[in-house]
Structure 1
Amino acid sequence: MSDEQTRLSELRDEIDSLDQQIMDLISARARCAQEVAHVKMEANPEQDVFFYRPEREAQVLRRIKDANPGPLADEEMARLFREIMSACLALEQPMRIAFLGPAGTFTQAAALKHFGHSVISQPMPAIDAVFREVESGAAQYGVVPVENSTEGMINHTLDMFISSPLKICGEVQLRIHHHLMRSPDSGDQPLTRIYSHQQSFAQCRQWLDAHQYGIERVTVSSNAEAARRAASEPGTAAIAGDMAAELYGLEIMAGKIEDRPDNTTRFLIVGRESVGPSGQDKTSILVSMRNRPGALYQLLEPFHRAGISLTRIETRPSPSGTWAYVFYIDFEGHMDDAAISKLLEDLEEDAVELKRLGSYPAGVL
């Protein structure tokens, strides 16, 4: 054997040995996770036990990123551990996660990014259906889009929180890459129609005007639905993501056609239980103020006085009356923090109504 072959053989033997060690350690971690579940069930024999703790998983993933020695990137290392934790949790109780469907949407990609691939992901036809699925207990958590960096807030999601008893339990941000795709059986047939969701058309408007001007653009309920149609209709294409292309067997004609390279959508995780502090948290509330001069100042002044940073404020029409409004506010901190607790007490003194939507870990992945 040459020196190269000898060295390669030694390295491959070392990799095989390391693989065995990794497998042994993952198995040991899985057994430990099972023991945690058994301890919880024995301590609470008459209660529903929640094995998934969002604050605990956020702490673990942050520690992994901080301790990562390389050469893998921090995000990549955290994603590997995300899948290990997902598989370990599924040993005891595979979680059912409702998401805005159909299968192949960016919302499903966000759900799998946040919970890992060992959950059961259940597509729902509308945002309100996701909320109902979780409220009924048919799913442990739901995933819904709340804002896009290009197109702004998803108003339907905000409006659902006005009446829903669900809590916000987490958030996840997903870089959105749109591709123009068609069936590989299309050959050289000219393109006559492009399907996509209205927001995707808006996020790719400049590219479409420059490269596909004059081609009919047909709005459908989701990018996954667009991909399904493009897979079966000759002369058509779809704007969708990688999951839809893989699911419907489409080939990508042009990749990453979004007008803004930093195009990102934020999704919220909704559930029935409150989440404990993780150390890096956000809180979301809905506030209805009296319609009088200085109302907005009265709403914002306590945040300034307490030195609390707002990350988002939106206004939605109140269902209680004409020209009445509800403010949706995200800010840093957890409701269990003394400063946040005092802030909420101050807000309640001037507000018509204050609804605590939840405190949750700031997105890690």
Structure 2
Amino acid sequence: MSDSSKQDLSALRERIDDIDGEILRLISERAECAREVAETKTASDPKAVFYRPEREAQVLRRVMELNKGPLDSEEMARLFREIMSACLALEQPIKVAYLGPEGTFTQQAALKHFGESALTQPMAAIDEVFREVEAGAVNYGVVPVENSTEGVINHTLDSFMDSSLHICGEVVLRIHHHLLVADNTLKDKVSRIYSHPQSFAQCRKWLDAHFPHAERVPVSSNAEAARLVKSEWHSAAIAGDMAAKLYGLSHIAEKIEDRPDNSTRFLIIGNQEVPMSGTDKTSLVVAMRNQPGALHDLLEPFHRHQIDLTRLETRPSRTGVWNYVFFIDFAGHIDEPRVSAVLEEVRLRASEVKVLGSYPQGVL
């Protein structure tokens, strides 16, 4: 390297050091503001809510709009997500229950939404996540609701039918499955593969092509699959990066899902209603009277008011044989006049309408 190049490099490093110092100063200043916000809220209301889903969504969207590069806008938003998470922990650490055990995609979704400073607690079943939030043992819960390959998670939908909780947010996670082994297992010796049944379904074609004779053993979660493989020979697990890191497993093959766009949508559940953020969704559960044209009567007001339906699912009703309820997601917030008008019409036509929540559309 020439003397001129060395001088240029030294100058660039000094500039980076100066920028780092400025970043540090500004982050500390932001954290101090967060602490003052907490003190102000607590002084006026000892039971004040510190986490505001609509406010955080607005901040992240603004960051993405203002970003000029060279970092990708989503990457920049993820950096701000962690800064906000650390600052919020100064006010009040968020406790989040998720469908466990540790190392699952649901935990990954929880950390993606709330940041690494959140305190996550694994639960053995979806209904346990609901119970923890309802009891006030945690602030929020994270549960899977649908996968782009395998469809809706019925247990989550059914849990909403008996719950008073609100949907406070959503997060979509790209699901990448890897074939993992412990250090003492060779690829050509794998005779058994552990995974969650949905993961087997999402990787069926790849497994048929590469391990057609291996025994496929379904377990309660991919993290449990990784745990079992850690202590066994001649076995492998289908799991994600978090489980691989947690149990110290090696990759035989990466991204073995049959569809490259494989994603799972998770819902954030809590006890409070969420104000408008500017770009929102609303979720309903509707029971219709068992009569001809019932589905048309339900959907017609949405069409007339030009409200975009993003999901429609049908589940058996618990009130009678061959009766059904409809789970509906649509763009908009219940505080918008046109949404309020549609809901009023739907209530006149339905036997029961339950608003599960209006919440910010997923940003990350």
**What interval of TM-score do these two structures reach, taking the shorter chain for normalisation?**
over 0.9
Q: Distance in 1 between matches of 2:194 and 2:186?
A: 18
Question: Does residue 180 in structure 1 map to residue 195 in structure 2?
Answer: no
Partner of 2:91 in structure 1? 92
Write the deviation string for residues 48-67 of structure 1: whole angstroms up to 9, x where unpaired: 11100000000000000000
Q: Is the 8 A contact 2:287 2:352 kept in 1?
A: yes
Q: Distance in 2 between matches of 1:247 and 1:189?
A: 24
Q: How many residues align?
A: 363
Write the deviation string for residues 169-226 of structure 1: whole angstroms up to 9, x where unpaired: 0000000000000001224671110000000000000000000011000000000000
Residue type of the alignment partner of 1:173: V
Question: Does residue 277 in structure 1 map to residue 276 in structure 2?
Answer: yes
Report SS of the residue matched to 2:283: strand
Question: Does residue 156 in structure 1 map to residue 155 in structure 2?
Answer: yes
**5 Å matches for 1:35-74?**
35-45=36-46, 48-74=47-73
Q: Distance in 2 between matches of 1:186 and 1:210?
A: 20
**5 Å matches for 1:192-211?**
192-211=191-210
Shift in Å at residue 39 of structure 1?
1.3
Question: Does residue 311 in structure 1 map to residue 310 in structure 2?
Answer: yes
Residue type of the alignment partner of 1:29: R
Runs of 4+ in 1 over 6 A off after TM superposition: none
Report SS of the residue matched to 2:243: helix
Shift in Å at residue 257 of structure 1?
0.3
Q: Is the 8 A contact 2:187 2:252 kept in 1?
A: no
Q: Distance in 2 between matches of 1:187 and 1:255?
A: 16
Structure 1, unpaired ranges of 5+: none
Partner of 2:102 in structure 1? 103
Residue type of the alignment partner of 1:93: Q
Shift in Å at residue 85 of structure 1?
0.2
Partner of 2:29 in structure 1? 28
Q: Distance in 1 between matches of 2:73 and 2:273?
A: 29
Shift in Å at residue 151 of structure 1?
0.2
Q: Distance in 1 between matches of 2:17 and 2:237?
A: 43
Report SS of the residue matched to 1:30: helix
Q: Distance in 2 between matches of 1:2 and 1:205?
A: 58
Structure 2, unpaired ranges of 5+: none
Residue type of the alignment partner of 1:16: D
Partner of 2:214 in structure 1? 215
Question: Does residue 6 in structure 1 map to residue 7 in structure 2?
Answer: yes
Q: Distance in 2 between matches of 1:188 and 1:280?
A: 47
Report SS of the residue matched to 1:12: helix
Partner of 1:242 in structure 2? 241
**5 Å matches for 1:259-278?**
259-278=258-277
Q: Distance in 2 between matches of 1:146 and 1:19?
A: 41
Shift in Å at residue 134 of structure 1?
0.3
Residue type of the alignment partner of 1:35: E
Residue type of the alignment partner of 1:77: M
Q: Distance in 1 between matches of 2:100 and 2:74?
A: 26
Residue type of the alignment partner of 1:20: G
Residue type of the alignment partner of 1:344: L
**5 Å matches for 1:350-361?**
350-361=349-360
Residue type of the alignment partner of 1:13: E
Q: Distance in 1 between matches of 2:188 and 2:174?
A: 32
Q: Distance in 2 between matches of 1:69 and 1:309?
A: 31
Partner of 2:138 in structure 1? 139
Q: Distance in 2 between matches of 1:266 and 1:283?
A: 15
Report SS of the residue matched to 1:300: helix
In terms of mean alpha carbon deviation, does 101-110 or 183-192 score higher? 183-192
Q: Is the 8 A contact 2:146 2:152 kept in 1?
A: yes
**Aligned residues with identical type, % of pairs:** 65
Partner of 1:77 in structure 2? 76
Q: Distance in 2 between matches of 1:172 and 1:22?
A: 28
Shift in Å at residue 69 of structure 1?
1.2
Q: Distance in 2 between matches of 1:189 and 1:302?
A: 59
C-alpha change, 1:349 and 1:258, in structure 2 (3 Å) is same
Residue type of the alignment partner of 1:36: V
Shift in Å at residue 11 of structure 1?
0.8
Partner of 1:300 in structure 2? 299
Partner of 2:224 in structure 1? 225
Q: Distance in 2 between matches of 1:344 and 1:311?
A: 16
Write the deviation string for residues 242-294 of structure 1: whole angstroms up to 9, x where unpaired: 00000000000000000000000000000000000000000000000000001
Q: Distance in 2 between matches of 1:317 and 1:232?
A: 42
Shift in Å at residue 326 of structure 1?
0.6
TM-score (norm 2): 0.99
Q: Distance in 1 between matches of 2:188 and 2:158?
A: 44
Shift in Å at residue 305 of structure 1?
1.1
C-alpha change, 1:188 and 1:239, in structure 2 (3 Å) is closer
